[in-house]
Amino acid sequence: MRLLTLRGDTPRPLALDYAAPLQRRRWPGAAALAIALAIAAALVIRYGEVQQERAALLARLDLQQAGTRAVRALPARAAGDEAKSIEVVTRQLALPWPEMIESVESAANRQVALLVLQPEPERGTLRLTAEAGTPQAMLDYVRRLGESEALAGAHLVSHQVRRESAARPIQFVAQATLRGRK
C-alpha cells in the first residue's frame, strides 16, 4: 500500500533542456519513420494477399494437372481396346457354354485328355487342345466331336507326338464350328 502511495506521488521529470529546441528538428526523421512504417505495413499486407493468390493459383494448377492426367489416362486407342475387350467378353458371355462343354465332354473318353478350350466367338469356332494315348483315339475323338449337337465341321488342325514323355502321347489341336454361329 505504501509502495502504491509512493508511486502515485512520484514527481514528473523536469524538462528544462536548453538544447531541446535543437532536438525539435528531429521531426523530419520521425515523419520519415512513420511513413516507412506505414509503407512496411502496407507491404506486409500486400505480401499476405500475394501469398494467398499464389496459393489459390497453385491449387488451381494442381486441379488442372490432375484433370489432364485423368484425360491422358484414357487415350483413344486405349478406349478402343477397352471397348473391344468389353465386346469380346460380351460375345464370350453370349456363347452357348453349357451345350459346348457338354459336347466336348461327351466326346472325351479315358484315352483323351482335354488341355485347353479356346472359343473364338468372332469367327464362331471352337479351338481345343488335347492329348490322346494313340492316333486312333485322337481321330475317334475328333469324329465324335463333329457328331455332337453343338459343334459341326470338327477337324484336326495339327498333332505332335510328345517324345519327352515315356508314354509318348499325341498332343493335338482340333477345331470345330459352333452350330448356329455362322
Partner 1 sequence: MSRLWTERIRVAFAPAALGIVRARRGAEAAEVVACDAQAGAEAWRGALDAFASAAASWLALRADVSVVLSNHFLRYALVPQDAALRGGAEELAFARHAFAKIHGERSAAWDVLLDREARGPLRVACAIDGELRRGLQACFPPGAKARLASLQPYLMAAFNRRRRQLAAPAAALLLLEPGRACLARLAHGRWTRLRNLRGEFEAPQTWTALLEREQALDGDAPEREVLVRPHEDSADPYLAMAQCVS
> Binding residues for partner 1, per CB under 8 A?
6-20, 22-23
Strand partners, 55: none
Shortest separation between residue 42's beta carbon and partner 1, angstroms? 24
Shortest separation between residue 44's beta carbon and partner 1, angstroms? 23
Among 108, 101, 153, which residue's Cα sits nearest to residue 133? 108
Shortest separation between residue 40's beta carbon and partner 1, angstroms? 17
C-alpha span between 132 and 135 (Å, rounded): 7
Would you say 20 or 70 has its CB closer to partner 1? 20
Shortest separation between residue 36's beta carbon and partner 1, angstroms? 14
C-alpha span between 62 and 74 (Å, rounded): 19
Would you say 2 or 69 has its CB closer to partner 1? 2
Residue 101 grid cell: 462343354
Shortest separation between residue 29's beta carbon and partner 1, angstroms? 9
Calculate the dihedral angle through the C-alpha atoms of 82, 88, 89, 95, rounding to the nearest 10 degrees.
170
Would you say 13 or 98 has its CB closer to partner 1? 13
Would you say 14 or 166 has its CB closer to partner 1? 14
Give CA separation, 34 vs 13, 20, 25, 47, in Å: 26, 21, 15, 20
Would you say 1 or 15 has its CB closer to partner 1? 15
Would you say 28 or 98 has its CB closer to partner 1? 28
State the CB neighbour count (10 A cutoff) for residue 121.
Answer: 18
Shortest separation between residue 34's beta carbon and partner 1, angstroms? 17
Alpha helices in the chain (DSSP H): 2-9, 20-23, 27-72, 76-94, 97-107, 135-147
